[in-house]
Structure 1
Amino acid sequence: MTTKPSNSDKAIWLARDNYPGSPSRSNHKIDIAKVDYFWMGIRGTSYYQQALKRAKSSTFATLVPQLNNAHDNTAIGIQANNSLIGYVPRNMAHTLYSQIGFLKLQGHSLRISVHINHNAESSKYLDYPEYSAWACIPTHRGINKLAPLKDLKEAFQPLWDSLPDDLRDTIARDGYHLTSETGPQVWKNRHSAPNFWFSRSFDGENIDLGVNLALQSLREERRRIEQLEKKKRDKQIIRMNESGLPNKKIAERLAISSSTVRKILKGAGRSAAETKPTGINATNVKSLLARAEKCLLAADRQSEGISRAAIAKEMNTSIKSVEKYLTDGKFYRDMSRNFRRKDAIICIRKNSNLDSYSEDELRRARNDSVIVERFNLQI
């Protein structure tokens, strides 16, 4: 007599289909990414022969995610006539575990089609179980229709929100993948997500796919937020640039590097040349030229064979200061000593190719340009 499912509970069919006759010969042709379910052999049937005998007329069974299986952290049992008749193959159980559990927490009885074979002749002459069984198992695509990823993520969210900031930051740095260090800490807080089905304990070698999917969803959400924030920041940089604010000031206000500002402006078809150079007023020019005079004097005196110590004494300064004066003074007298510094001056004077230089290089080039002009130096 065929056992029919009762409609008295919140039963839902995860996978329902007529037995195809020879699933072992046809399943290798199936692309499980394109189907909602397919037939697979039930695992472990040799241990449940009596239960299979009692359920031999059954055409449906119930999937039960297990929490206390000592051999498999994401085991899903298959029950017929209220007895365990075997298990979903491990590779599929790993994929379905969290979503099957999620549906169970909603109070559903999770039904699938089964077919139980009586191998009477084979068991007489071969070392072969008397009963074997096949089950119509939902694929990842199929289970997603009943327990969508967005629902899984919403169920997981309370746990994520309950985690300490430093733990969330660590998981984020690990690409939203759990490690032997972070995984157990997450599992300790699983009571914070009562609508998410967790395995008994954290197993780094066999993390159920649902947890990884929930974490990936959080990662994608963070990326979307970061992209929105980046677009908002980029627009702010362009507005500041249009108002004439120098790159360095923009960088300081937004706590980013000057090179990031230049990169964003370049991508927007703008450059630091559109800002108004600041920092060279009458007072600055006076002190700038006074120092340049000392630099040129130190360079000229050394070219006459006078030692640095003698120059320092003559200028009433330290030898260390003289060394600094000499670095700039020799450059002013022969700019071929530093081609990049020389080219920066030329770019400043022509107001072109400024994106090739850092803010520090451009600031020095503006000062050098003033000195070149005032002392009529050769570039």
Structure 2
Amino acid sequence: MIYLDNNSTTQLDPRVLEVMMPFLTSEFGNAASSHTFGRRINNHVKSARENIAALLQCDPGEVVFTSGATEAVNLGLKGVAKNYRSKGNHIITANTEHPAVLDTCKSLEADGYDITYLPVDRDGLIDLMELKAAIKEATILICVMYVNNETGVIQPISDIADTAHEHGALFMCDATQAIGRIPINVYSLGIDLLAFSAHKFYGPKGIGGLFIQHKQPKVKMSPILHGGGHEHGLRSGTLNVPGIVGMAMAAQLAMNEMQRDADHVTMLRTYLEESLLKEENAFLNGSYDHRLYNTANLGFKGIDANVVIGRLQGIALSNGSACTSAIMEPSHVLKAMGLSNEDAYSSIRFSLGRFNSLMDIETTISTIKPLLVNAF
């Protein structure tokens, strides 16, 4: 299998699995237990929290463990919305966000909140002037993702955060595609809340977290899960210790190998992209300059991307978000960027990762080119 769907999920790094194994076997204690066994497990959780905080360059006490980014997004949006309702009920986001954000915002709309969905330009970027114009006195939160999962487009996070703070609003960022791939300092970027998931940076599935700013200003939250008061009372439930330990190891590897991964993957993507864009009627979706180094969303006018993907044997590709791939509709991200239904249906996402090789890319190019001729 040649796996080029790393924005959907990544392969678990064998070194991550190795550190997880004791906590799936002999070290099975509950981190909340008061006996010696439980306290020993809790010490591992504390150490893991420090590793993850180091990746975000934040205080360990500002990291709340969740089951993944989707839960973290729900906790962030709903937790802020509920706690700041007396200040206002207006939230701003972008119409190219992940369904975890968009669906949660729709849920909040049904509860009486006012949501503004910002448009994007042909490159997939929001307009800062349009953002400023959308802010109201009742605006409590602006939520914009760091890196788009379909196109790899990187939003101007620091500028968005500054705009939010200038108007007394909080800034939340879904950094699921960014964490572990590019350096993040939540303080210098001005991020108040940040959602992430381990399985996007070679960690296990079922574990993620939410950074919640405790300083200047301290973000006040209301929980969405109750029962036990775990994670500072914000996320009740027995901690997923194997997952937490695995995510911490993935974070440590990311810090140590981020530049090496970036150099390797950039080389592979450049080769793939330059080769395929030579094809007749091929085009790039998203900003060429403002995007993550591992993602190439390419369109091939006149072809049906689902036909191409279905005919590939042993090569895993995607035509959009894995969370909506079962729905036979054009990508909401590409449509928001101005693509026609036909062009959106003709687009394929290539997302590369740490374990891809030059041979993978060469094989993919030689396999996919003949398919582009008859994929209608």
TM bucket (normalised to shorter chain) is: under 0.3
TM-score (norm. length: structure 2): 0.18
Higher relative contact order (CA 8 A, sep 6+): 2
Work out which of the two has the higher radius of gyration on C-alpha atoms and give 1 or 2: 1
